[in-house]
Amino acid sequence: MSLKSFDIGHGIGKGQFGRVYIARKKISGYIVALKVLSIGELIKVNAERQLRREVEIQMNLRHPNILRLLGYFQDDIYFVLILEYAAKGELYKQLVKSGRLKEKKASRYIAQTARALSYIYQKHVIHRGIKPENLLIDLNNEIKIADFG
Ligand code: ATP
Ligand code: MG
């Protein structure tokens, strides 16, 4: 797979080493998020091991409330993570917009996050960055824990 395998859409997020885009797999039409990281930047700040850990951990987790890492590839310039797309974006943005959540919605999000954390602890993984920016929401209002970097 390469960047040519996808129609790449608009940017949906910005990270330390690159950007996240919505994209569509050309053959299947499947919608994903591509996290495109500059290899040069990764090397400059010695983050290769951290990225490898992110990939190894997230590839092995399967839970409805954990953002799936579907695959990855690289070329000379970029390392690209193929991620499940969370259409409604960050919980952080919802909180900023609505100030506070209704109790029912908040309790659903907390229960989903707790189930996902319980699952990763069983696998002896800790996240170290649980915060509203890293809790994404999909089209069905399901929490997806993201960013295992
Ligand atoms: P790092 O911590 O490795 O530097 P980062 O924290 O900047 O990276 P992410 O948190 O993975 O990168 O992504 C940055 C932002 O892009 C997220 O906060 C979110 O807004 C958006 N984003 C990332 N992945 C997805 C996705 N799969 N679906 C929708 N939005 C996403
Ligand atoms: Mg993040």
- Per-residue confidence in pLDDT tens, the chain, 149 aa: 999 999 999 999 998 888 999 999 999 999 999 999 999 999 999 999 999 999 999 999 999 999 999 999 999 999 999 999 999 999 999 999 999 999 999 999 999 999 999 999 999 999 999 999 999 999 999 999 999 98
Instruction: Assess whether the C-beta atom of 22 lies below 6 angstroms from ligand 1.
Output: no
Ligand 1 atom with the shortest distance to the CA of 147: 11
**Global confidence as pTM:** 0.94
Ligand 1 atom with the shortest distance to the CA of 33: 27
Break the chain into its structural domains and give their ranges.
3-83, 89-145
Instruction: Assess whether the C-beta atom of 135 lies below 6 angstroms from ligand 1.
Output: no
Instruction: Assess whether the C-beta atom of 74 lies below 6 angstroms from ligand 1.
Output: no
**Ligand in nearest proximity to the CA of 54:** 1
Tell how far the Cα of 136 is from the centroid of ligand 1, in angstroms.
9
The answer to whether residues 117 and 127 touch, using CB atoms and an 8 Å cutoff, is yes
Instruction: Assess whether the C-beta atom of 69 lies below 6 angstroms from ligand 1.
Output: no
Q: At residue 53, what are phi and psi to the nearest 5 degrees?
A: -65, -45
Domain 3-83 has CATH 3.40.50.2300: no
CA 129 to chain centroid, in Å, comes to 12
**Pure H helices in the chain:** 39-44, 48-59, 91-98, 103-122
